[in-house]
Structure 1
Amino acid sequence: MGEINIYGVYVPVFLIQAILAYILLKVVSIGTDKIIEKGWIALPSIFNLCLYLILLWFVHWLFVVFFG
């Protein structure tokens, strides 16, 4: 998708998407922590990784739809 020039520093768009996905992960993890504490999720670290990848895909899709 390219990069954005912020005061002479080129920042990749994918980095911005990754940061937004991480912020969303922290918001969503407030709700999923309750499920993890109850034992419904067997491998919480893999679950969180997959959840982050899904959120990253969603944020990337939104960027493509609205800015592409």
Structure 2
Amino acid sequence: MGELNVYGVYVPILLIQAVLTYVVLRVLMRVLDRVVEQGWIPLPNIFYLCIYLVLLWLMHWGFIVCWG
């Protein structure tokens, strides 16, 4: 994908995708915390990591489809 030039500083597109994905994950975690507190998810840290990776893949796919 490349990088984006912001006032002479090159910012990788993947970094922008990762930050946007983290924001989406934090919003989703507020909803999923209720499920974690009830005990439906035994290892929440691994679960959240997997959710983050899936969201990052979807964000990357979305960037490719929209601007590719």
TM over 0.5: yes
What is the identity, as a one-letter code, of the residue corresponding to 1:15? Answer: L
Partner in structure 1 of residue 64 of structure 2: 64
Partner in structure 2 of residue 3 of structure 1: 3
Partner in structure 1 of residue 18 of structure 2: 18
Give 5+ residue unaligned stretches, structure 2. Answer: none
Q: Distance in 1 between matches of 2:30 and 2:54?
A: 17
- Give the TM-score of the pair, scaled to structure 1: 0.98
Name the SS of the counterpart of 1:40 in structure 2. Answer: coil
In the alignment of these two chains, the number of paired residues is 68
Partner in structure 2 of residue 36 of structure 1: 36
Report the aligned-residue RMSD.
Answer: 0.4
**Deviation digits for residues 18-61 of structure 1, max 9, x if unmatched?**
00000000011111000000000010000000000011011001
Q: Where in structure 1 do 4 or more consecutive aligned residues deviate above 3 Å?
A: none
What is the identity, as a one-letter code, of the residue corresponding to 2:24? Answer: L
Q: Distance in 2 between matches of 1:23 and 1:65?
A: 21
